[in-house]
Amino acid sequence: MPEGTGTSRRPWEVAVAHGKRLAVTAEDLLQRTLSTAGLRQPDSTIAADAQDYWRRPKGSRWAADSHWREAPAFRGTDLWDRIGADHLDLFEAGARMAGFSRSWDRVVEWGCGGGANAVRFAPRAKEFIGVDISRESLEECGRQIASVCDTAFQPVAVEVANPESALGDIDGVCDVFLCFYVFELIPSPEYGERLLRVAHDLLAPGGLALIQIKYETGDWRTKPRRRSYRRGLANMTTYPIHGFWELAGRCGLVPRGVRLVPRNELDERYAYFFLSKE
């Protein structure tokens, strides 16, 4: 999620920003203490809160969180453009490493948001399928694709509680499955297992997935939050790196490599997994 970037700020603005960061840290520690004490919220409650948050546009924080190009947080920077450009470079490097050389006729992006990745991957595909909770983000993704290419776009809306419904809405299989800046904000690690099984079912044999997660380090403050979705949505779900590797294997995907990004301009502790379906 982008924070205020770039422009020089007055001392009182710096002090207010610092105070806000302290308040956020204190709130996060409180929620984690409650979770560690066993006061977790059930997945169904977190899923309902997630649905409520993402479903409709709600101003500039929502637009930034959904990675819409025109969000104030991206204005005057090239950050939005670099999201998709960097992911395309990474995918191409991973595809070479994994020996994935087939054409990308069908690409699925899970949680496509405002289309930052779609504008880079769709021109390389015959068909681009975007899956998201928000119909408005799906429309925005479609507009962004249409501004760069005439690749066919299929928007697929899902409810947080039922990601498996996408299997009924998408006919046939895909060559490439992508998911960026989404696993950190799903309700729980167990929900992520459901998404991996959906990815497995959507991929054609020989297909390649690139899935980004946020990793935990062993420090209790980096574990899944499991409470109070709206105030800590970018830290809801984390995995140990080896844990996600093994989980993907149990879901029928073969881990081919992982790239770690300990920090970038949006956040920290990212791991990108290349997973193939044999």
Ligand X SMILES: C[S@@+](CC[C@H](N)C(=O)[O-])C[C@H]1O[C@@H](n2cnc3c(N)ncnc32)[C@H](O)[C@@H]1O
Does 236 bind ligand X (CB under 6 A)? Our answer is no
- Establish if 185 lies at the interface with ligand X (CB under 6 A): yes
Among the listed ranges 23-31, 126-134, 198-206, 239-247, the one in contact with ligand X (CB under 6 A) is 126-134
Decide if residue 66 touches ligand X (CB under 6 A): yes
Give the binding range for ligand X (CB under 6 A) out of 6-14, 111-119, 199-207, 215-223. Answer: 111-119
Q: What secondary structure does DSSP assign to the chain, as a single string?
A: -PPP-SS---HHHHHHHHHHHHHHHHHHHHHHHHHHTT-PPPHHHHHHHHHHHHSS--SHHHHHHTT-TT-GGGTTSSHHHHHHHHHHHHHHHHHHHHT--S---EEEEET-TTSTTHHHHGGG-SEEEEEES-HHHHHHHHHHHHHH---EEEEEE--TT-TTHHHHHS-S-EEEEEE-S-GGGSS-HHHHHHHHHHHHHHEEEEEEEEEEEEBP-SSGGGS---S-TGGGGGGS--B-HHHHHHHHHHTT-EEEEEEEEEE-SS-EEEEEEEEE--
Confirm or reject binding of residue 133 to ligand X (CB under 6 A): yes
Residue with CB nearest ligand X?
113
If binding is defined by CB under 6 A, does position 132 make contact with ligand X? yes
Q: Which of 73, 122, 186, 211 binds ligand X (CB under 6 A)?
A: 186
Site for ligand X (CB under 6 A): which residue of 74, 100, 104, 181?
181
Report if residue 163 touches ligand X, rule: CB under 6 A.
Answer: yes
Question: How many residues sit in the footprint of ligand X (CB under 6 A)?
Answer: 25
Which of 134, 235, 237, 238 is the binder for ligand X (CB under 6 A)?
134
Does 180 engage in binding with ligand X (CB under 6 A)?
Answer: yes
Contact residues toward ligand X (CB under 6 A) are 50, 54, 65-67, 83, 110-113, 116-117, 131-134, 137, 158, 160, 163, 180-182, 185-186
